[in-house]
Amino acid sequence: MNQGFAIAGSLMWKAANRHDPATRADGARFFFQNQLGAIITVIAFLPLLVLIFMDKDMDPKNKKIAGGIGAVLAIVATLIGVSWNPPSVEQYTRDMNACAAQINAGQPTTTLIGARAAATLTRNLLPSGRTSYARPAAPLGGEACV
């Protein structure tokens, strides 16, 4: 049960970081903000493993089995919580600028953000047989990427 909560918390933390990423300019903050889900998972499992291995009343065979299972679950939950390719403010800024430039040029968007919007647009709004959609020039003040 502890593993389920640890994994759920890690996944929610990773989702929150996608909505409000850290800047790469501050390396320590970037690391801790993106990897906090994995760090908290280790902190959550550590007391459980200590209690298992320090229990004097538990049979040594059961201690090895429970400790091994606990260690494997802790490793799995930690690996799920690690952000392998964490987003950054700089990455989002580059994507948004590229998307805005493509929209202003009347080109289909190719950034990840724009590609999702273009796929939805193609699937839902374009007449059959049409493969692209060129947006008109942006109004005064520019147009936000979706």
SS3 88: strand
Tokens linked to 51: 């209690």
Residue 116's pLDDT is 54
Q: Length of the chain, please?
A: 146
Q: Domain count of the chain? A: 2
* Structure confidence at residue 103 as a pLDDT band (50, 70, 90): confident
* Structure confidence at residue 1 as a pLDDT band (50, 70, 90): low
In a shared domain, residues 77 and 17: yes
In a shared domain, residues 76 and 94: no
- What range defines the domain where residue 133 resides? 89-146
Say how far apart CA 67 and CA 50 lie, in whole Å. Answer: 9
In a shared domain, residues 102 and 35: no
Residue 53's pLDDT is 92
In a shared domain, residues 63 and 117: no
* Structure confidence at residue 120 as a pLDDT band (50, 70, 90): low
In a shared domain, residues 24 and 58: yes
The answer to whether the pTM exceeds 0.75 is no
User: Whose CA is closest to 78, among 36, 20, 50, 49?
Assistant: 36
The mean-pLDDT minimum among 17-21, 93-97, 132-136 falls in 132-136
Residue 144's pLDDT is 46
Residue 141's pLDDT is 44
Judged against a pLDDT cut of 90, whether residue 11 lies above it is answered with: no
pLDDT tens for 18-73 read: 888 888 998 899 999 999 989 988 998 899 899 999 999 999 999 999 999 999 98
In a shared domain, residues 74 and 98: no
User: Whose CA is closest to 99, among 108, 91, 109, 107?
Assistant: 109
